[in-house]
Chains A and B, each alone.
Chain A
Amino acid sequence: MMAGSQWELPPELCCRPMAFVALTGLDVVYNAVHRAIWDAFCANRRADRVPISFKVLPGDHEYPKCRTKRTSYEWYIPKGILKTGWMNKHLNLVPALVVLFYELDWDDPQWKEKQSECATKVEIVRTSLQGRNTKVAVVLIQKKTPLPPGEDLVASERAATLCNACDLSGKSLFVLPHTDHLVGYIIRLENAFYEHAQTYYYTEIRRVKSHKEFLNKTTHQLLFVRHQFKIAFFSELKQDTQNALKYYRTAYSLVHELRAHETNMLEIKTMAGFINYKICRLCFQHNTPLDAIAQFRKHIDLCKKKIGSAELAFEHAAWMSKQFQSFGELFDEAIKLGLTAIQTQNPGFYYQQAACYSQDRKQQAQQLCQAGATHPSPEPGDTHTGGLDFYGQRPWRQGHQSIEPPDAEKEKTGILALQIKERDVPHSELIIALLSNAVAQFKKYKCPRMKSHLMVQMGEEYYHAKDYTKALKLLDYVMCDYRTERWWGLLTAILTTALRCAYLMASVKDYIIYCMELLGRASTLKEEQKMRIEKNLIQVLMNEVPDAEPECDPSSDGAARSLWSDRMALSGSNELTIEVQDYVPFIQCKARFQSPSFHVDQPIQLQVFLQADCPHPVSFTKLAVSLSNQEYNQWCVVESAGQESMSLLPGKTKCHNFSFVAKTEDVGKKIEMTGIELMLGSDSGRCVFVSWRGAGGDAASTHEALQASRSSRRWGRGVEARQELDWDSMTMQPSTMIISRVPKISVQLSHQPPALNNEMYCINLTVQSQEGVVAKDVKLTAGLKPGQDANLGQTTHVTLDGSKVCDDTAPALLPDVPLGDLKPGAKLERCVYVKCVSTGSRVFLFHVAYSIDTTVEGRQIVCKCHKDETVTIETVVPFEVSVKFVSTKFEPLDRVVVDIPFLLMTDILSSSPWPLLLASSSLQLLTMNTNTPQLQSQLQEVVLQTDECASECFCLRCPPLVNCNNTVATGQYLISWRRKSSSANSPLIQTAVTLPHVILESVPLYIHAELPSYGRVRESLSVRYHIENRTSLVQEVEMAVEPSDAFMFSGLKQVRLRILPGTEQQMLYNYYPLMAGYQTLPQLNISLPRCLTANTHTLRRFLPQRIFVKPQGRQLDDASIAAA
């Protein structure tokens, strides 16, 4: 029997009441058929089956006797509210229906005998149920499938006689053929049973209700409660939960109307608790959780103050705890069935409160139950096990209902016995179980802090239960939550408990850790407490036993002391490393490199700051910094020399400086601090290595630094000035870069920007050494700075050879060009040529590297130095070339006629800011031919200044082609040039300009005129038109000359003629100019009636439009001579 079970709710209260039906006449052990029937009743009782609890009983089973009915309540004084056996009696002992199973077929040959045997069996059952309203029913187990009702005359007749013989109504006789459909028959049977059972419970309710009129309010108060409870319970059995709830509610208010005094307080509370449980359970079942919660709150408010006997105050706490626990369980169960709970209303709160009352109980038990008391004899509590008659009564005065206890002496021993019993209750176990239930709930409903709080309580309870390992496990787990949320007061409280645990179990490492944090700045302990703890810590470091923690149970202290001395005696295990980064230890550490980077020829400087927050000075024996490159670690150690140790004064910052020389191979690498170790204690006692990761800092320092930066931002430079002293705002510098030595050379570039497209752009590089010693292995890397647009790499070429134009194989970056050694003060020059194939801006890098011997702090090292110069150079086109085609009349041409000469005009417009020298130009023709025999450049050795233009003109002719009337490539125009300022032997740059394509056109007829360059007024001017047929057909040509005001003419005014293929026809006209000046020639209209594609307009293009006519000069003619 588990302790505390006195407060457990009885199982018959907590179960769901179901109608009780007894089955008799079944031999489930030896008879397979009966077994099958019984199994069909029991198996698969799911929610869709009617709620009946079946039991197989022997036919002659003795049912509980029914007491004689009371006819009057006049002299009756009830002894209690509810008998302890009553619920069980109606759930499991008194059936609503007894069913007699009997094997009998309608056509049984021994029908008569069997019928009377059956009747006898029914009679036996009836006798044992004497006085009860229990129904009786008979089920005939038959081998044959019955015929449909009404068809089997024998059956109906025999059924009637059987009913008669057994004194049964027809409704109570059933037939069960055990054929294939057994389960189906069983389900129909049990539904019928259920109806009978309901009728039974209905009559029971009526029966209890009928008592009411006999009761009076003064003496029968208890009965009012009892009867309401019974009605409600029967209603539940009847599955009428709505009415059950109603009656329970009435019962609940009645129970609180009872006159309460110290002697019956427990009984009232017990019954109130039962009824409340039922109400809450039904409310949850009806899916009205808010009603359940409201009822429970009402219940608690009503009962909270009903403590009862002060000497048994723990009983009240125990009862309250149970109330909360069972409500929590009901709530939890409802959630499992689909109810949704919320953060602020979940079972966790009830478990938590239950735990809280259990804690009260424990406290009261400790106060009330003196350890010295012995068991009185005989023990009055013993009746307990024998059972009580009524719920909630005292075993030594059962049935007693008056205000004063009947026997004061008995009362005293009874209370004492209860107190002694309470002393043995494992309170902590109960509390922990409840707390862990609550933790599980709060975890589910997103209450991490509540969970932590409960875990702290659990830890404390384990501490009280002396299970220190579990206590520490829990406390350790939650400590970091409080630490990260910076609730120092709570953290200190938890640490204090943890320290006690660590002391009591003599766990050295834990003890040291907790001491360290309790001495630290996060601890809210008083100064004298800290002093005590520090003293203990020093003792542990000296391998001595610390003093006991105050508030520790003195009885456990002895055990702890012996544990400690065992620990101390153990040798070899006196070295401990404690990672303090995640705590707030009593020694703070911050380290920094003096600078985020050091040149390789400078000693690397590193500072470690230490500050102790404890009340007394603390001494240490060793301080070591570990770095990412462990070879440097040897330089970053400080150890106390001999006996004298280094010490930290409270609140004072101590700074340790280290410096070392970096290795040259570490240039470009980062050196990081990986950890800092501080050794406390000594080899003779106990060594504790307090270790920080990285450059120190702890769980609280980030926030402190943030706050410090906020305040310094606000106060500006005032704080900056005294920053050296301000611990919080001191920043850590956990890493530093080792960078190469500062070069002492100058690199100068001279050039004439911008660069011109495709030229060999010359950049003059001058390197001058300012070193004191020889710079060795000077190397130049020159060219396009990496990391720019990838296309630039393809269009940039760098070379040192300026004598010829470099080709595309030259790289964009010339790496490591050796330049030899450079003496101190010496100078070195180089020209670098860059060819940029495309325009745009480029960044060029000139990287001069060398090595030099130098000394750092007496150590010889070879340093590599380098100096970078970058220059951005814009590339522009040197000149623009424009090309156009014109006719021999200098008219722009949009298409070129085959085999007729035309002109190509080129213009070179300089856009270079520097003068350009055009060496020569030439044409590379593809389809065209020159019309002039010797093509000579007209631009040789021409110098173009900015914005000047050089033009050329070429006469070309396109030979007849097969595929005419098409666009053809013309060819290229080549220009050789260089800067005027460049030296005469510098290479010429060839720039090729692709000439535009032309559209070719062939004409069927070509016409050209042969006429003098000018005419004179009134002087005949002969014009010969040549008309060529360029087709392979005979062409018919119509020609007409339109009259003109400026000319008179002679010749054919209008003519039609034929021209044979490939031949020409000449037409001669004599024009006689009438006016001077530019005159439009008479228009010649030509049309080809056969060939409509060619129009006169095209042909007219070939002809001269006008001619200059000189005025008639004064002539030394005959007349003037005559006049003379």
Chain B
Amino acid sequence: MAVCIAVIAKENYPLYIRSLPTQNELKFHYTVHTSLDVVEEKISAAGKSLGDQRELYLGLLYPTEDYKVYGYVTNSKVKFVIVVDSSNTSLRDNEIRSMFRKLHNSFTDVMCNPFHNPGDTIQSKAFDGIVSGMMVQTG
């Protein structure tokens, strides 16, 4: 399914980033980092128009030749980015949405952990498991 999943802090530094180990990890880091341009733009555009009735899912951020990059922003401005292979046409928007929702739920669990310090990188087995699940389904 996903080839790279990232969680980005409000201040735009990575809290968690994992990509398929077989591929060039650095490239995904760059992909996620550059996608923040679009996320920022979308947040500022949404902020102007709707206020708090904002849709968390940002949709397709931008297509590259090889990947599709999707974005999601929580109300506390934590960003989720999912990178999907362009050749994977079976994924519908709805499925991406549900992936984000799952990710968000798991992220909330991490934040609820009293031993986790918000702003630190995520080191949670449960979260790892959820992410792995989303990446494994690719087959």
Co-assembled chains A and B: yes
Interface residues of B in 55-80 (CB under 8 A from A): 61-62, 64-65
- Say which residue of B12, B26, B37, B119 sits within 8 Å of A489 (CB atoms): B26
Interface residues of A in 700-731 (CB under 8 A from B): 703, 706-707, 710-711, 714
- Say which residue of A343, A485, A490, A711 sits within 8 Å of B38 (CB atoms): A343
Nearest CB in chain A: distance from B34 CB, A? 4
Q: Report whether B117 and A446 are in contact in the complex, using a CB–CB cutoff of 8 Å.
A: no
Given A343-B38, A706-B119, A453 contacting B33 (CB threshold 8 A): yes
Interface residues of B in 4-36 (CB under 8 A from A): 11-14, 17, 25-26, 29-30, 33-34, 36
Chain B residue nearest to A713 (CB atoms) is B117
A703 to B11, CA, bound (A): 10
- Say which residue of A356, A450, A710, A711 sits within 8 Å of B37 (CB atoms): A450
Chain B residue nearest to A446 (CB atoms) is B41
Given A344-B62, A707-B117, A707-B119, A486 contacting B34 (CB threshold 8 A): no
**Does any Cβ of A come within 8 Å of B47's Cβ?**
no
Q: Report whether B119 and A490 are in contact in the complex, using a CB–CB cutoff of 8 Å.
A: no
Q: Report whether A453 and B117 are in contact in the complex, using a CB–CB cutoff of 8 Å.
A: no
A714 to B41, CA, bound (A): 34
Nearest CB in chain B: distance from A58 CB, A? 53
- Say which residue of B37, B117, B119 sits within 8 Å of A448 (CB atoms): B37
A489 to B30, CA, bound (A): 10
A490 to B6, CA, bound (A): 14
Chain A residue nearest to B120 (CB atoms) is A707
**Does any Cβ of A come within 8 Å of B133's Cβ?**
no
Q: Report whether A353 and B65 are in contact in the complex, using a CB–CB cutoff of 8 Å.
A: yes
Q: Report whether B26 and A493 are in contact in the complex, using a CB–CB cutoff of 8 Å.
A: yes
**Does any Cβ of B come within 8 Å of A447's Cβ?**
yes
Residues of B near A489 (CB, < 8 A) are 14, 17, 25-26, 29
Tell me the total A-B contact number using a CB cutoff of 8 A. 63
Given A343-B41, A714-B117, A449 contacting B65 (CB threshold 8 A): no
A485 to B14, CA, bound (A): 9
Chain A residue nearest to B114 (CB atoms) is A714
Given A487-B13, A710-B118, A343 contacting B29 (CB threshold 8 A): no
Interface residues of A in 847-878 (CB under 8 A from B): none
Q: Report whether A344 and B61 are in contact in the complex, using a CB–CB cutoff of 8 Å.
A: yes
A490 to B34, CA, bound (A): 12
Bitwise interface map of A from 435 to 473 toward B, beta carbon under 8 Å scored 1, else 0: 000000000001111100100100000000000000000
Nearest CB in chain B: distance from A371 CB, A? 26
**Does any Cβ of B come within 8 Å of A879's Cβ?**
no
Q: What is the size, in residues, of chain B's interface with A at 8 Å between Cβ atoms? A: 24
Given A490-B30, A490-B33, A349 contacting B14 (CB threshold 8 A): no
Q: Report whether A349 and B62 are in contact in the complex, using a CB–CB cutoff of 8 Å.
A: yes
- Say which residue of A300, A356, A450, A711 sits within 8 Å of B34 (CB atoms): A450
Residues of A near B25 (CB, < 8 A) are 489
A447 to B41, CA, bound (A): 9
Residue of B25, B33, B38 contacting most chain A CB atoms (<10 Å): B33
Given A487-B13, A493-B26, A356 contacting B65 (CB threshold 8 A): yes
Chain B residue nearest to A714 (CB atoms) is B117
Nearest CB in chain A: distance from B66 CB, A? 9
Given A485-B12, A490-B26, A490-B29, A449 contacting B36 (CB threshold 8 A): yes
A450 to B41, CA, bound (A): 13
A490 to B17, CA, bound (A): 12
Nearest CB in chain B: distance from A306 CB, A? 15
Chain B residue nearest to A353 (CB atoms) is B65
Give the bracket for the number of chain A residues in contact with chain B: 20 to 34
Interface residues of B in 85-139 (CB under 8 A from A): 114, 117-120
Q: Report whether B30 and A710 are in contact in the complex, using a CB–CB cutoff of 8 Å.
A: no
Residues of B near A450 (CB, < 8 A) are 34, 37
Residues of A near B30 (CB, < 8 A) are 453, 456, 490
Q: Report whether B34 and A453 are in contact in the complex, using a CB–CB cutoff of 8 Å.
A: yes
Q: Report whether B33 and A449 are in contact in the complex, using a CB–CB cutoff of 8 Å.
A: yes
Q: Report whether B29 and A710 are in contact in the complex, using a CB–CB cutoff of 8 Å.
A: no
Q: Report whether B38 and A344 are in contact in the complex, using a CB–CB cutoff of 8 Å.
A: yes
Chain B residue nearest to A712 (CB atoms) is B117
Chain B residue nearest to A343 (CB atoms) is B41
Chain A residue nearest to B35 (CB atoms) is A449
A349 to B35, CA, bound (A): 13
Residues of B near A356 (CB, < 8 A) are 65
Residues of A near B33 (CB, < 8 A) are 449, 453, 482, 485, 487, 490
A970 to B28, CA, bound (A): 98
Residues of B near A486 (CB, < 8 A) are 11-14
Residues of A near B12 (CB, < 8 A) are 485-486
Residues of A near B26 (CB, < 8 A) are 489-490, 493
Residues of B near A448 (CB, < 8 A) are 37
Interface residues of A in 473-506 (CB under 8 A from B): 482, 485-487, 489-490, 493
Q: Report whether A447 and B117 are in contact in the complex, using a CB–CB cutoff of 8 Å.
A: no
A489 to B17, CA, bound (A): 10
Residues of A near B65 (CB, < 8 A) are 300, 353, 356
Given A356-B65, A706-B119, A707-B119, A343 contacting B13 (CB threshold 8 A): no
A791 to B17, CA, bound (A): 67
Q: Report whether B37 and A343 are in contact in the complex, using a CB–CB cutoff of 8 Å.
A: yes
A610 to B109, CA, bound (A): 38
A349 to B38, CA, bound (A): 13
Nearest CB in chain A: distance from B11 CB, A? 7
Q: Report whether B37 and A446 are in contact in the complex, using a CB–CB cutoff of 8 Å.
A: yes
Residue of A343, A349, A482, A493 contacting most chain B CB atoms (<10 Å): A343
A214 to B11, CA, bound (A): 70
A349 to B62, CA, bound (A): 10
Nearest CB in chain B: distance from A526 CB, A? 14
Residues of A near B117 (CB, < 8 A) are 707, 710-711, 714
Nearest CB in chain A: distance from B29 CB, A? 5
Residues of A near B64 (CB, < 8 A) are 349, 353
Nearest CB in chain B: distance from A666 CB, A? 40
Chain A residue nearest to B28 (CB atoms) is A489
Chain B residue nearest to A456 (CB atoms) is B30
Q: Report whether A447 and B34 are in contact in the complex, using a CB–CB cutoff of 8 Å.
A: yes
A575 to B14, CA, bound (A): 38
Nearest CB in chain B: distance from A439 CB, A? 12
A513 to B117, CA, bound (A): 32
Chain A residue nearest to B17 (CB atoms) is A489
Residues of A near B62 (CB, < 8 A) are 344, 349
Q: Report whether B34 and A485 are in contact in the complex, using a CB–CB cutoff of 8 Å.
A: no
Residues of A near B34 (CB, < 8 A) are 447, 449-450, 453
Residues of B near A485 (CB, < 8 A) are 11-13, 33
A9 to B14, CA, bound (A): 43
Residue of A300, A446, A456 contacting most chain B CB atoms (<10 Å): A446
A1090 to B29, CA, bound (A): 116
A707 to B117, CA, bound (A): 7
A122 to B29, CA, bound (A): 73
Residues of B near A446 (CB, < 8 A) are 37, 41
Residues of B near A353 (CB, < 8 A) are 64-65
Residues of A near B37 (CB, < 8 A) are 343, 446-450
Question: What are 12 A-B pairs at a CB distance below 8 A?
Answer: A343-B41, A344-B62, A446-B41, A449-B36, A453-B33, A485-B33, A486-B12, A486-B13, A487-B13, A487-B14, A487-B33, A714-B117
Binding site for A on B (CB under 8 A): 11-14, 17, 25-26, 29-30, 33-34, 36-38, 41, 61-62, 64-65, 114, 117-120
Binding site for B on A (CB under 8 A): 300, 343-344, 349, 353, 356, 446-450, 453, 456, 482, 485-487, 489-490, 493, 703, 706-707, 710-711, 714
Given A353-B64, A446-B41, 17 other A-B residues pairs in contact with their CB atoms under 8 A:
A343-B37, A344-B38, A356-B65, A447-B38, A448-B37, A449-B36, A482-B33, A485-B12, A486-B13, A486-B14, A487-B13, A487-B33, A489-B25, A489-B26, A490-B33, A710-B118, A714-B117
The 7 tightest CB contacts between A and B, nearest first, are A486-B13, A447-B37, A711-B117, A450-B34, A344-B62, A449-B34, A449-B37
